[in-house]
Structure 1
Amino acid sequence: MRLRSIRRRRSALLAVGAVLVLGLTAVVFVFGRSRPSAANAETQPPRLELVPPAAATSYRDPVMVRGRAIGAEQVTIGDRTARPAKDGSFEIQLPHAPVDTTVVAIGAAGEKATTPLQVGVALPRIRAVHVTAYAWAYDPMREAVLDMAREGRIDTVQLDIKDEDGMVGYDSQVPLARESGAASTIYDAATALKQLHDMGIKVVGRIVAFRDPTLASWAWHNGHPDWVIQNSSGQPYSSGYGAIAFTNFASPEIRSYNRDLAIEAARLGFDGVMYDYIRRPDGNLAGMQFPGLTESPSDSIATFLRDCRDPVHEAGASLSAAVFGIAATRPDEIAQDIPSMARYTDFLAPMLYPSHWHSGEYDVANPNAQPYDIIFRSLQDFRARTAGTNTQIIPWLQDFSLGVAYGDAEVKAQIDATYAAGYNGFFLWSPTVSYHSGALAPN
């Protein structure tokens, strides 16, 4: 009897134990399925959410970046770092609008979440006149331009950096500008920029890119013939611009030179850099050679802008290009493909001078005598060619007489046509730097 009783108690205890083990196993199983393990939690990347930053008005404007980084210990943008609050919120102020930047949220175990940061730059309106280096250095001409600024008729001065002769107007420190004799002391860049900026006036520096007699002649006579556009006989390609006038846009050294000048100008404080003569010479393409060219001339011009865009932006300036009016319909004549160039510029500045159009262009019988009509219609074509890009259009308008006398009325007609076409800015060109200020309404 006693033996049977002991056996019954053992059996009962074993049964209870089995039930407890099964219960604990079930609890562990359910708990394990309902909650992640500590190891899994540690490897879960943070959740990163950005508030779209407000558009800047300059590549030098500071930019505030805000968002939430849930589960992050820190957030970095370049060399800037912030520690998120308990709810994951953070803010980081950048010194200027970034280029090709990524936001990184880092967790406790080093796990990361990343997202690209894009900050739009909405450039302010430009109402500008062109000023050569020599005109700026001459008191009466400079004061006439400054009077227009004081009266609120212009908000921007377009000041030459490198002109049609290839001379750099100030004492550039770019090595090739000094070696070739291009650097000069016609004006002091820092003084000019401070004077204009103190007045609230923006400054766009103009670089005449590939028409460059100074550098072309120096290169040809100093063992760099491949830096010069050549004719079919291997001699410098001569044109209406001179015997040795055009440098070779396919040359890496020529491209670097013009890019370095733009970066230097941006660092000096120019608000924008505009390339002019960013093209091949006009004429029969079959009679030209471009040593080292591996793509079409139009593609080479566009890739030059592509290579310049980010470095110029990072230095603080906008990037633009002056283009022929005919480039909208006949790009191959001068290697300016407008849709391609538009992808890499903040704005394009088509030279729409009425005196330069043929009779009947855009169904305008006499463009030179019909400045409103030719400006309005040609701008419609540029709008179509740049559709789908972020580039703006800011045209060059004519303030000189060539065949037809131009005064306040003719200049104002072009400005009115620009506004009517939906654009709110312009550059005026006068080769003598003498402007009809009566055409410009005070702001």
Structure 2
Amino acid sequence: MSDASADRGVSAKLRAVLRAVPRSVLVGAATVLVLLVGFVLLRSLSTADVRVSGAGGDGPVTREAVQQIRVHTADSASAVVLLDGRPVPTREQDGAIGLRPGELSDGEHELSVQVPRSPSWLGTSSTEHRFTVDGEPPVLRVADSLRPQRPGEPVTVEGTAQGAERVEVAGNAVPTAPDGSFSSVVQNPDREVRVTAVDAAGNRAEQMMTVHVRHPGMRAVHMTGLAWTSDTLREPVLEMARQGRIDTVELDIKDESGEVPYDSRVPLANRIGAVKNYYDAKQSIDQLHSMGVRVVGRLVAFKDPILGESSWRAGHPERVVQTSDGQPWSTGGYGSFAFTNFADPVVRQYNIDIAAEAVELGFDDILYDYVRRPDGDIGEMRLPGLQTTPEASVAGFLRETQPEVRSRGALLGASVFGIAVDRPTEIAQDIRQMSQFVDYIAPMVYPSHWAPGEFDVDNPDAQPFDIVQRSLAVFADIVRGTDVQIIPWLQDFSLGAEYGPEEVRAQIDAAASNDMDSFLLWAANCRYTGEALTPQG
């Protein structure tokens, strides 16, 4: 028999069997089949739309990321949310169900969401979502500091980042070796270099590396812009340099009158008539450099009557420190408009622009003076725009300045009152805060400026060694661990007592007893006691 004949035979037998089944049985079977298909379709159509977002995928998630898991369903009120088989607290958030799982352990977890179907006899719809928690950040190891030889010199950042998927140095991604080690050269580093390591889950480890440049040291005298134009005053200073008694000269680049005594091109300085062009900065710097003498630019920051008065009369009173009734602050004998507002962005930028220009001209350091508020009751002052404490604002100004100075190859210092060492709020000079953003602090520890009994010195004028030694010891202690240097201002003038070589020498010795071999001498008349200074090779 052929295959076709066999198939016809089977079909005939099947038809015969079906004709033998009663019609009612066939109808019943068909009904059951229809109901079964309908149930399946109804159950399928009644499945609640449940979706989970915010975590999971192929990689691990942080513990914080678990807080971002969202359950999306139209019937959130009836949803039952289980985490690892137990109910988990939830909250409604952005039209979805947010989790409040508390602290989860590292490892795999299962989220289950059950939502009743409608009608209820259809049971529930459930969704499972698995994810892995990784709450441990990478292990990042780098040194605390970087120590280039000169400002602006490239630094090499080296370290290891175990468990990191990505490493960034100063905002740039760097490759890592299989053992997690990395190395990256940072050109023109700022005061700090940020190193970041991120793992696959998104956990971050960060460390700030401080860039410390050791000041080469200085034995300096100060000269005003006008004094530098005088042969009578300039030549003795140059002779002291030739003899090796000094190795640094500080020249004013903006003084306490607000004048800019060199040939500045800063637009605002020229608009307000501050530029006096007493001396040629580039020529003077070149002359001193040719002698092996470093040049520091003294920049009086916030005592600036020229900027203050011009701003006030031009309708910008916010640039001036004011009294409580809105008048220019003049208490303390400074005169009207004397103190500009250190919290004002225009005032800050004006000083930064002068600092940046001076470094471009060749100044080796920028040393701020009057980087403070005026003395007096802070409760009676108005400082428009001040959003923080005066001390933090002054320190923030130094922070803004340092990259502009450092990136151009110079160092930054701040002259401070001696009393600031233990009375930071009196003039808004918090030494610890300021030391974060300068390369050196220059305290004015003139014996004539201390009251009797300070640091247990009965008569500071008559005891120059004692008052300088003891006050500088406190300054050294307050900056301990910061790498910032203390380079003191010492007194070479008579006020209350006659000062000559012996008194000047006593102060230098007092500084040296605190391991401070650098100093700056101040004399308002710019006449210095060379005999007090020992010639160096």
Task: Tell me the TM-score range normalised by the shorter chain.
Answer: 0.7 to 0.9
| 2:338 counterpart residue number | 245
Residue 291 of structure 2 is aligned to residue 194 of structure 1: no
How do residues 268-279 of structure 1 correspond to structure 2 at under 5 angstroms? 268-279=361-372
How far is 1:50 from its partner? 10
Cα gap change, 1:313/1:405 in structure 2, threshold over 3 Å: closer, same or farther? same
Please give the secondary structure, in 2, of the residue aligned with 1:339: helix
Please give the secondary structure, in 2, of the residue aligned with 1:169: strand
| 2:35 counterpart residue number | none
**For residue 207 of structure 1, what is the amino acid of its counterpart?**
L
| 1:422 counterpart residue number | 515
Please give the secondary structure, in 2, of the residue aligned with 1:358: coil
| 1:265 counterpart residue number | 358
Partners of 1:68 and 1:289 lie apart in 2 by: 48
| 2:429 counterpart residue number | 336
Q: Assess if the C-alpha contact under 8 Å between 1:297 and 1:335 holds in 2.
A: yes
Residue 264 of structure 2 is aligned to residue 172 of structure 1: yes
Please give the secondary structure, in 2, of the residue aligned with 1:401: coil
Please give the secondary structure, in 2, of the residue aligned with 1:185: strand
Cα gap change, 1:389/1:118 in structure 2, threshold over 3 Å: closer, same or farther? closer
Deviations 1:345-394 (A, max 9, x none): 10000000000100010000000000000000001111121122121100
Equivalent in 309, 315, 318 of residue 223 of structure 1: 315
Equivalent in 186, 196, 210 of residue 302 of structure 2: 210
Partners of 2:278 and 2:313 lie apart in 1 by: 26
Cα gap change, 1:299/1:288 in structure 2, threshold over 3 Å: closer, same or farther? same
Equivalent in 375, 381, 384 of residue 291 of structure 1: 384
Cα gap change, 1:370/1:237 in structure 2, threshold over 3 Å: closer, same or farther? same
Cα gap change, 1:323/1:102 in structure 2, threshold over 3 Å: closer, same or farther? closer
Equivalent in 231, 246, 252 of residue 160 of structure 1: 252
Q: Assess if the C-alpha contact under 8 Å between 2:222 and 2:522 holds in 1.
A: yes
Deviations 1:216-268 (A, max 9, x none): 01111111111001111111011311122000111111011111111111111
| 1:81 counterpart residue number | none
Partners of 2:195 and 2:334 lie apart in 1 by: 50
| 1:135 counterpart residue number | 227
How far is 1:102 from its partner? 7.8
How far is 1:57 from its partner? 4.0
Cα gap change, 1:117/1:229 in structure 2, threshold over 3 Å: closer, same or farther? closer
Q: Assess if the C-alpha contact under 8 Å between 2:190 and 2:403 holds in 1.
A: no
Partners of 1:161 and 1:183 lie apart in 2 by: 10
Cα gap change, 1:189/1:359 in structure 2, threshold over 3 Å: closer, same or farther? same
Residue 240 of structure 2 is aligned to residue 148 of structure 1: yes
Q: Assess if the C-alpha contact under 8 Å between 1:354 and 1:371 holds in 2.
A: yes
How far is 1:277 from its partner? 0.5
Cα gap change, 1:356/1:117 in structure 2, threshold over 3 Å: closer, same or farther? closer
Residue 366 of structure 2 is aligned to residue 255 of structure 1: no
Partners of 1:434 and 1:318 lie apart in 2 by: 26
How far is 1:403 from its partner? 1.1
Please give the secondary structure, in 1, of the residue aligned with 2:265: coil
Please give the secondary structure, in 2, of the residue aligned with 1:161: strand
| 2:420 counterpart residue number | 327
Q: Assess if the C-alpha contact under 8 Å between 1:216 and 1:245 holds in 2.
A: yes
Partners of 1:409 and 1:378 lie apart in 2 by: 19
Q: Assess if the C-alpha contact under 8 Å between 2:212 and 2:439 holds in 1.
A: no
Please give the secondary structure, in 2, of the residue aligned with 1:141: helix
Q: Assess if the C-alpha contact under 8 Å between 2:146 and 2:210 holds in 1.
A: no
Partners of 2:423 and 2:144 lie apart in 1 by: 40
| 2:499 counterpart residue number | 406
Partners of 1:126 and 1:163 lie apart in 2 by: 21
**For residue 261 of structure 2, what is the amino acid of its counterpart?**
G
Cα gap change, 1:146/1:54 in structure 2, threshold over 3 Å: closer, same or farther? farther
What is the identity percentage for the equivalent residue pairs of Structure 1 and Structure 2?
A: 50
TM-score computed with the length of structure 2 as normaliser: 0.65
Please give the secondary structure, in 2, of the residue aligned with 1:331: coil
Partners of 2:230 and 2:150 lie apart in 1 by: 30
Partners of 2:390 and 2:158 lie apart in 1 by: 45
TM-score computed with the length of structure 1 as normaliser: 0.78
Cα gap change, 1:118/1:291 in structure 2, threshold over 3 Å: closer, same or farther? closer
| 1:73 counterpart residue number | none
* Residues 380-389 or 423-432, more deviating: 380-389
Unaligned runs of 5+ in 2: 1-140, 161-167, 171-181, 197-205
Partners of 1:294 and 1:96 lie apart in 2 by: 31
How far is 1:316 from its partner? 1.6
Unaligned runs of 5+ in 1: 1-48, 70-75, 79-89, 105-113
| 1:280 counterpart residue number | 373
Cα gap change, 1:144/1:238 in structure 2, threshold over 3 Å: closer, same or farther? same
Equivalent in 202, 225, 235 of residue 327 of structure 2: 235
Partners of 1:190 and 1:145 lie apart in 2 by: 18
| Bigger Rg over Cα | 2
Please give the secondary structure, in 1, of the residue aligned with 2:490: strand
How do residues 70-85 of structure 1 correspond to structure 2 at under 5 angstroms? none
Partners of 2:405 and 2:427 lie apart in 1 by: 24
Residue 429 of structure 2 is aligned to residue 356 of structure 1: no
Residue 493 of structure 2 is aligned to residue 392 of structure 1: no
Partners of 1:50 and 1:371 lie apart in 2 by: 45
Residue 430 of structure 2 is aligned to residue 309 of structure 1: no
Cα gap change, 1:183/1:360 in structure 2, threshold over 3 Å: closer, same or farther? same
Residue 115 of structure 2 is aligned to residue 59 of structure 1: no
Bigger fraction of residues in strand: 2
Q: Assess if the C-alpha contact under 8 Å between 1:56 and 1:97 holds in 2.
A: no
Partners of 1:132 and 1:193 lie apart in 2 by: 14
Please give the secondary structure, in 2, of the residue aligned with 1:219: helix
Cα gap change, 1:118/1:140 in structure 2, threshold over 3 Å: closer, same or farther? same
How far is 1:288 from its partner? 1.1
Partners of 2:169 and 2:228 lie apart in 1 by: 41
